[in-house]
Amino acid sequence: MNQVNLKRLAQELNLSIATVSRALQDSYEVSSQTKERVKALAAELNYEPNAYASSLRRNISKTIGVVVPEVNNHFFSLVINGIEEVAHQSGYHVLIYLTHDDYEREVAITQYLTGGRVDGLLMSVASESQKFAHLQKLYVSKPAIVFFDRVCEAIATANVTTNDYESGYLATRHLIEAGCRHIAYLLVSGNLSIGRIRMQGYQAALRDHGLPYDDTLVVSDDGDDERNTARIMDLLRRRPEVDGIFASVEHLAISSYHACHALGRAIPAEVKIIGFSNLGVAALLAPALTTITQPAYEMGKAAAQILLCAIEKKRAISPGQSLVLKSELFARRSTAS
Amino acid sequence: MNQVNLKRLAQELNLSIATVSRALQDSYEVSSQTKERVKALAAELNYEPNAYASSLRRNISKTIGVVVPEVNNHFFSLVINGIEEVAHQSGYHVLIYLTHDDYEREVAITQYLTGGRVDGLLMSVASESQKFAHLQKLYVSKPAIVFFDRVCEAIATANVTTNDYESGYLATRHLIEAGCRHIAYLLVSGNLSIGRIRMQGYQAALRDHGLPYDDTLVVSDDGDDERNTARIMDLLRRRPEVDGIFASVEHLAISSYHACHALGRAIPAEVKIIGFSNLGVAALLAPALTTITQPAYEMGKAAAQILLCAIEKKRAISPGQSLVLKSELFARRSTAS
DNA sequence: TTTATCTACGTAAACGTTTACATAGCTTCG
DNA sequence: CGAAGCTATGTAAACGTTTACGTAGATAAA
């Protein structure tokens, strides 16, 4: 199985390796006849350049890394779709890494990526990552980084996010206008900026409508769906006056449904639920779920575009290139009054 | 920004590059004191080996490719989860490519991958790929391949699938036992083996229960959700006697729900629906969807294990290593009698 | 005609790693 | 004491590509 490489092509064509290489790159230094000959043989022998040799020599990998907590999640899978779309168009390859919201794992992954394996990185930080030393290290090393949704504020680069404060405010107001007076907040993770910011919107809306903020109505994510459901059930039992739930992340909305079903609380009659979600079947749920939906696909595309643009132009990415896209509120049965 | 590589370490330690390289690999040829010195400095300088140089030299990339139609799909995202889990454990990196069920795109992707970029490949073929020349080419080239779910029968390698015939049979029988007499079949894609095999199970169940097979009750996937819904609505209008729908793939089940809602057909009273699906919220739909659920995560793990085992042992993969996992039927309201 | 410029190609070094081979200094054994 | 073997290290080639530099021949300019 004689590998077909430049040397092989050069031998068969009685040319030097250099000329073959240049011909395949359409260099002006090669005559058009030679180019034709080379390309014909390359096609015939099904020549494909060795990506590693090329990357080593040019110090460019044509590869970007995507680091996300999960892929089995509508938001992230849509983002990946967008990223892959842009990457494919520009001839980039996409390496994917899952942190499972685990700090250790995120550290290990970023360590890999300092080795020049990728030209750039798109990242949504793990919810447990309070420490940023590993990200700093990575940032100081080569690859360009763009954060999306779950950003790392300690690093001066571009972020692609959504209008989380506003969305938190609108979601809460939506519940209030639907008649809710005791609204629970289900928090992603206290050390994630999106959790905090959405919560600030929630608090502001309460204040503006003369409702007290009560931190015993805040339930934070446990990382496990079963346990989350149990926590929510616990809250609903302890505080029977709760008539609204704002889930700051999709799986907490789902857990809320399970909790209400288990306790026999009618949605929306007794408890109204709104949640951040990219669930395609939100409208088919029983009852249809009112969602704040982030433009996940567009976020992926935008983040990838910022990154690839910076890579191609060999320019550093500045925080000024950050983008804030708008989420949309889809009012459905789960918050009907 | 002096890159830290073996040469740099060697200079600072007054050693040769070879010794440093060997020390980092825990070679028995290096004294333990030297190893310590080397490792200490490597850690201090945050040395990370250049993946491309290493891959070039060793002709091993420690990278596998995953080619799937979509990632925004519960089945595939769970599979990817499983794959990533196994890959991560074995220190492999995962490149991901989406075909969007597009033949041209699949060809382009397989072309990339002949270049030795990956040591192996996990693949679910695009539904439109009737021609296998590109896969043959890839197969003849280096990387080991394992297909999962949507296999390419023309290639003699291991496949990881589920008991599709049996599942098709059971799903159909489930509808018949629930009282259905005119069961529509929603086909993934005629040239996909899974579409055919599931359909054979459907036909066999009809036959065994004395029901006629009627190919005008078969609707095939159009690739677009809106149009699929329209097709199903069309069928339901044309053939008002249809009292059961068997969707051989998740998004067709969802489209069936939309179609029934649009036409005001009650599920399950007038039309019962069962579908292949890995939708986490199937039980929360209105009404809860009866599903045949494939063990997607396990399939991903199994496929990756077969692949990585073959790569590490440098052994060819034989069709004999193929695995057939069992899907599970979850009976819910959508097929209640 | 001489010189400069251009065209089309070749030579060889480099990218960072791995590894076959060589070797210098020991130890061991007959 | 010499041969053999071991230990710990160095030398250098190789992986396949890209590219700076060199050059032979042709053409153009002076």
- For A239-283, the pLDDT digits (tens) are 999 999 999 999 999 999 999 999 999 999 999 999 999 999 999
**CA-CA distance, A213 to A201, in Å (whole number)?**
12
Tell me the count of A-B CB pairs closer than 8 A: 138
Which residues in chain B touch residue A88, judged by CB atoms under 8 angstroms apart? Answer: 97-98, 105
Q: Is the CB of B29 under 7 A from strand D?
A: yes
**Which among B141, B281, B286 has CB closest to A279?**
B281
Which H or E run contains A329? Answer: strand A328-330
Give the pLDDT of residue A2. Answer: 61
**CA-CA distance, A247 to A76, in Å (whole number)?**
17
**Average pLDDT value for residue range B178-203:** 89
Closest-CA residue of chain B to A250: B281
Distance from the Cα of A42 to chain B's closest Cα (Å) equals 13
Buried b (16+ CB within 10 A) or exposed e, B266-305: ebbeebbbbbbbbbbbbbbbbbbbbbbbbbbbbbbbbbbb
CATH of segment(s) A61-162+296-325: 3.40.50.2300
The verdict on B112 touching A (C-beta cutoff 8 Å) is yes
Closest-CA residue of chain B to A106: B88
The verdict on A55 touching B (C-beta cutoff 8 Å) is yes
Which residues in chain B touch residue A300, judged by CB atoms under 8 angstroms apart? Answer: none
CATH of segment(s) B164-295+329-335: 3.40.50.2300
Hey, what CATH class is B61-161+296-325 in?
Answer: alpha beta
Task: Please answer yes or no on whether A71 and B77 come within 8 Å at the CB atom.
Answer: yes
- Identify the CATH homologous superfamily for domain A164-294+329-335: Response regulator (3.40.50.2300)
**CA-CA distance, B60 to A306, in Å (whole number)?**
32
Give the pLDDT of residue A247. Answer: 97
More confident residue, B1 or A143: A143
Give the pLDDT of residue A315. Answer: 87
Q: Is the CB of B17 under 7 A from strand C?
A: yes
Structure tokens at B30: 């290096």
What are the pLDDT digits (tens) for B89-145? 999 999 999 999 888 899 999 988 888 899 999 999 986 666 788 888 887 777 899
The answer to whether B288 and B334 are in contact (CB under 8 A) is: yes
Which of A172-176, A310-314, B168-172, B257-261 has the least mean pLDDT? A310-314
- Per-residue confidence at B3, pLDDT binned at 50, 70, 90? confident
Closest-CA residue of chain B to A89: B105
Give me the phi and psi of B223, to 5 degrees please: 95, -15
The verdict on A117 touching B (C-beta cutoff 8 Å) is yes
Task: Please answer yes or no on whether B73 and A77 come within 8 Å at the CB atom.
Answer: yes
> Which residue's structure tokens are 């390289």?
B21
Structure tokens at A179: 């008649």
- Per-residue confidence at B2, pLDDT binned at 50, 70, 90? low
Every domain range in chain A assigned CATH 3.40.50.2300? 61-162+296-325, 164-294+329-335
- Per-residue confidence at A196, pLDDT binned at 50, 70, 90? confident
Q: Is the CB of A316 under 7 A from strand D?
A: no
Every domain range in chain B assigned CATH 3.40.50.2300? 61-161+296-325, 164-295+329-335
Give the pLDDT of residue B31. Answer: 87
**CA-CA distance, B271 to B261, in Å (whole number)?**
11
**Which among A48, A88, A287 has CB closest to B111?**
A48
